Structure 1
Amino acid sequence: MRLYMVRHGETDWNKAKKVQGRADIPLNAYGRELAEKTAEGLRGIPFDLAYTSPLSRAKETAQIVLQGRKTPLIEEPRIQEICFGDYEGIVYRGEGLDPQSAEFVKFFDDTANYVPKGDGESVGQLMERVDGFLKALYQNPELQDKIILLSTHGAAVTAMKNCMKNEWSPAKFWQMGVPKNCAVTIVEVEGGIPKIIEEDKLYY
């Protein structure tokens, strides 16, 4: 099994440094351009199937990458972005900072001490969610020889990479930094054991 895990293209909220999470923000023109360049870079990869987060920014990224193909695209809620609860929509960097931003930025800068707000998820809950999806994938006998696209989000794909590395400590969650929009991580899975071949590859 080979996995190509891609973070979605840019949105206006990415650009404005607004917390997205489950807020369903579409790609902007530049985000679609990044997805098109990524599609070109992946043109020679014969995807057998694809899973996407149900959020439109990930779904549209997958649709652009798969344009002109008949690859089945399956919505998978377990790879949608972490829920940030009451933090969603606030500006957390740059101009127009929200008063709550000091607490929120712990998610990036001091992850071990990040506390979810409202109905938000913890980093541990996110890790368990994506790990459940990955284990089901690894154990599916029908998928062992398949090439699979996963279209997802910054924190969700980071959680998946950490699960693959068996790195469960929130303090080390962002040790590789935040993946850029449309960054692609390529993973080989053999006998249920994942091995990251390339991490955060850009095609633009």
Structure 2
Amino acid sequence: MKFYIVRHGVTQWNALKKVQGAADIPLAEAGVRLAEATGKALKDVPFDICFTSPLKRARQTAELILGERKVPVIPDKRIQEIDFGVLEGTRFRDGDGKFISREMEIFFQDPRHFIRPKDGENIEDICRRTRDFWEEKITDPDLAGKTILLASHGCAVRAILQNVYEDKRDFWHGCVPPNCCVNVVEVKDGKAVLLEEDKVYA
């Protein structure tokens, strides 16, 4: 079983440094181009099935990567982005790259101490639901030996990979995953191994 775990392409809110979370923002033109380039790079990968966050930016990315391939695309809410509640739609950095929001500064710099915002989630919440998804899929006999595309989001990708990383101390594993980066994970006999990390095809 092999997973190609992809973060969605660039959106307008990414460019504006706005908090997206569960907000359903589509890809920007640059995001479409990046997803198409990723699809071209992965054109020879024999995907059997795709699981995607139901949010537009992830689903569009999956569809652009798959292109004309007749692969089932199955939305699953467990791999959609962390819900930032009342923080969604706010800017978290200014034009100089400085944090505007103390809450979001903690999210990016010390995420395990990010306090759940009103109507939102924290890191423990997203790790719990993505872990449920991951454990279900890697033990599904119908997926044994399959090649799987998984389209998700920055925080959700890192939450999924917490099930793979040997060293789990740094949630971000050095950085927020770049837009449209690909993480390749192989699962054999119940053990997951990261074969490729945060590869971007641009």
TM-score calculated relative to the size of structure 1: 0.94
Aligned residue for 2:163, secondary structure, equals helix
| Alpha-carbon contact 1:87-1:100 (below 8 Å) kept | no
| Alpha-carbon contact 1:127-1:163 (below 8 Å) kept | no
Alpha-carbon separation, structure 1, partners of 2:141 and 2:122: 32
Alpha-carbon separation, structure 2, partners of 1:12 and 1:55: 15
Aligned residue for 1:27, secondary structure, equals coil
Alpha-carbon separation, structure 2, partners of 1:115 and 1:166: 25
Q: RMSD value over aligned CA atoms?
A: 1.6
Instruction: Find the counterpart in structure 2 of residue 165 from structure 1.
Output: 165
Instruction: Find the counterpart in structure 2 of residue 42 from structure 1.
Output: 42
> How much identity, in percent, do the aligned residues show?
44
Q: 1:113-163: CA deviations, max 9, x gaps?
A: 211211111101111110110100011011111000000000000111122
Q: 1:68-103: CA deviations, max 9, x gaps?
A: 110000001110000111110110012399x97122
Instruction: Find the counterpart in structure 1 of residue 189 from structure 2.
Output: 191
Alpha-carbon separation, structure 2, partners of 1:66 and 1:103: 36
Instruction: Find the counterpart in structure 2 of residue 74 from structure 1.
Output: 74
Equivalent residues in 2 for 1:1-204, closer than 5 Å? 1-95=1-95, 101-165=101-165, 169=169, 172-204=170-202
| Alpha-carbon contact 2:53-2:75 (below 8 Å) kept | yes
1:65: Cα distance to partner?
0.6
Name segments (4+ residues, structure 1) moved above 2 Å: 166-169
Deviates more, 1:118-127 or 1:37-46: 118-127
1:191: Cα distance to partner?
1.4
Q: 1:179-198: CA deviations, max 9, x gaps?
A: 11000000000112111000
Deviates more, 1:116-125 or 1:182-191: 116-125
- List alignment gaps of at least 5 residues for structure 1: none
1:176: Cα distance to partner?
2.4
Alpha-carbon separation, structure 1, partners of 2:125 and 2:166: 15
TM-score calculated relative to the size of structure 2: 0.95
Does the C-alpha gap of structure 1 residues 167 and 21 become closer, same or farther in structure 2, counting only changes over 3 Å? farther
- List alignment gaps of at least 5 residues for structure 2: none
| Alpha-carbon contact 1:186-1:199 (below 8 Å) kept | yes
| Alpha-carbon contact 1:46-1:147 (below 8 Å) kept | yes
Q: How many residues align?
A: 201
